[in-house]
Amino acid sequence: MFLVFKLLSSLPLWLLHGLGWGLGWLAFLLSPTYRRRFVANARQAGLSAAQQRAAVGQSGMLVAELPRLWLGAPVPVLWQGRDHVEAALQGGRGVVFLTPHLGCFEITAQAYAQAFGQQGRPMTVLFRPPRQAWLAPLVTQSRARPGMETAPTTLAGVKQMLKALKAGHCVGLLPDQVPPQSQGVWAPFFGQDAYTMTLSARLAAQSGATVLLAWGERLPWGQGYTVHVEPLGAPLHQDLAQAAGQINAAMETLIRQCPTQYLWGYARYKAPRAATS
Q: What is the mean pLDDT of residues 118-134?
A: 79
Instruction: Looking at the chain, list the stretches that DSSP marks H as alpha helix, in order from N- to C-terminal side.
Output: 2-9, 13-30, 32-44, 49-64, 66-71, 82-90, 105-115, 136-142, 155-166, 199-207, 240-257
State the number of CA atoms in the 13 A half-sphere of 97 facing the CB.
32
In terms of pTM, does the model score above 0.75?
yes
Closest CA to 176 of 160, 164, 162, 188: 188
pLDDT at 134: 67
Q: What is the mean pLDDT of residues 267-274?
A: 91
Closest CA to 218 of 69, 45, 8, 6: 69
pLDDT at 30: 98
Q: If pLDDT is split at 50, 70 and 90, which confidence band does 145 have?
A: confident
Closest CA to 225 of 72, 106, 126, 67: 106
Q: Which amino acid is at 196?
A: T
Task: Compute the distance between CA of residue 127 and CA of residue 122 in angstroms, rounded to an integer.
Answer: 15
b/e sequence 232-242, b meaning 16+ C-beta within 10 Å? beeebeeebee
pLDDT at 155: 86
Give the 3-state secondary structure of residue 24: helix
pLDDT at 52: 97
- Per-residue model confidence as pLDDT tens digits over 218-253: 999 999 999 999 999 888 999 999 999 999 999 999
pLDDT at 217: 98
Kind of pairing, strands 123-127 and 170-173? Answer: parallel
Q: Which amino acid is at 50?
A: A
pLDDT at 122: 92
Count the neighbouring beta carbons within 10 Å of the beta carbon of residue 255. 23
Given a cut of 80, whether residue 183 has pLDDT beyond it is: yes
pLDDT at 276: 57
Given a cut of 90, whether residue 140 has pLDDT beyond it is: no
pLDDT at 275: 65
- Angle (CA) 268-55-49 rounded to 5° is 100
The string of DSSP codes covering 210-237 is: EEEEEEEEE-GGG--EEEEEEE--SPPP
Count the neighbouring beta carbons within 10 Å of the beta carbon of residue 59. 25
Return the higher-pLDDT residue of 276 and 162.
Answer: 162
pLDDT at 37: 98
pLDDT at 123: 93
Q: If pLDDT is split at 50, 70 and 90, which confidence band does 118 have?
A: confident
Q: If pLDDT is split at 50, 70 and 90, which confidence band does 112 have?
A: very high
Task: Compute the distance between CA of residue 79 and CA of residue 86 in angstroms, rounded to an integer.
Answer: 12
Give the 3-state secondary structure of residue 268: coil
Task: Compute the distance between CA of residue 217 and CA of residue 224 in angstroms, rounded to an integer.
Answer: 9
> For residues 145 and 192, is the Cβ–Cβ distance under 8 A?
no
CATH fold, domain 74-261, is Glycerol-3-phosphate (1)-acyltransferase (3.40.1130)
Given a cut of 70, whether residue 277 has pLDDT beyond it is: no
Task: Compute the distance between CA of residue 276 and CA of residue 181 in angstroms, rounded to an integer.
Answer: 9
- Per-residue model confidence as pLDDT tens digits over 49-108: 999 999 999 999 999 999 999 999 999 999 999 999 999 999 888 999 999 999 999 999
Which H or E run includes 150? strand 148-152
